Each structure stands twice: as C-alpha cells, then as structure tokens.
Amino acid sequence: MVFKLPDKFFLVRGSAEGPSLLNSFDNALLAAGIGNTNLVRVSSIIPPGAVEISIPVLPMGSLVPVAYSYESSDVAGEIISAAVAVGLPEDTGEPGIIMEHHLKGSAQECEETARRLVLQAFESRSCGLKEVRSVASTAKVLKTATAFAGVVLWA
C-alpha cells in the first residue's frame, strides 16, 4: 500500500497571480499552504471516522492526497472561483463525501454549488448528513491568475 488510510482531513484555499497559467497555479498552491508538496489527486471520499484538523506543517516533498478544484484565466478583469465542500455523515462508520466546483464567477455561487452537490451525493446514498463544511477561493484576474480550493487527506 502506497498510502496509510487517512484518518484526518483539512480544507485549504488560495489564489494568486503569476507570469503564466502554470505559475499562477503554483502560486495559488503556495498561498493555500501546500505548494511545496507533491499533490496526488483523489476523487471524493473521506474515510469513515476521519476528523477535521487545522492545517499541519507538511514535510516538503510529501505525497499529499487531495481532492481539489481550480480555475485559471488570463482574461484581465475576469472573476474566477474554486470551491470544495465536505459532507460528514451522521454515522461515523460511513464515509464522508467531497465535492468540487469551479467557474468564472463569484465565490458565493461556486461554494453554494459545491454544497448542493454534497447534498445530492448524500441523497443518492440514502445516508444521514450531519454537517457540510466548505471553502472557496476567488480572484479578479489582473494578468494571469488561479483560484484553488482543496481537501487534503492526512494520516
């Protein structure tokens, strides 16, 4: 097994400009506090019993499982946003659900959509929902920008 089953998670967000789309993405990761790690993109499940923690100091170069969303643009004046939402079940023996969304538009609209997607996922599973946690990031593009939001799974 490459990864130990995560028993913790935390939400991150950041937005930044950069000289290129890739550099703005990298700078958004730095702004989110996870820029000096190797992100391993995962889909949408939080292991049963995992608890939310404050953002820890991540060892540089760590392999970090993360479900994330981002929006990048090089259109000056454009508003871009990214959001993630986490649904936690009533029964801690059930998994949590992560949903991501991104758009050219407001952080509020983006975050509301991510939260709605969590509700729909819980309805599909006929599982009781205890709470929804979410974060969003937004940027007004000056030259080249990225908005990033993620849920990091940690052991």
Residues forming the active site: 38, 43-44, 100
b/e burial code for range 109-124 (CB count within 10 A of at least 16 → b): bbbbbbbebbeebbee
The Cα–Cα gap between 111 and 133 comes to 10
Pairing of strands 96-103, 63-73: unpaired
Q: Name residue 108's amino acid.
A: Q
Q: Collect all residues with Cβ–Cβ distance below 8 Å to 20 and sequence separation of at least 6.
A: 144
Tokens of 106: 């407001």
How many Å is the maximal CA-CA distance in the chain?
Answer: 47
Cβ(125)–Cβ(37) under 8 Å? no
Q: What are phi and psi of 94, to 5 degrees?
A: -100, 155
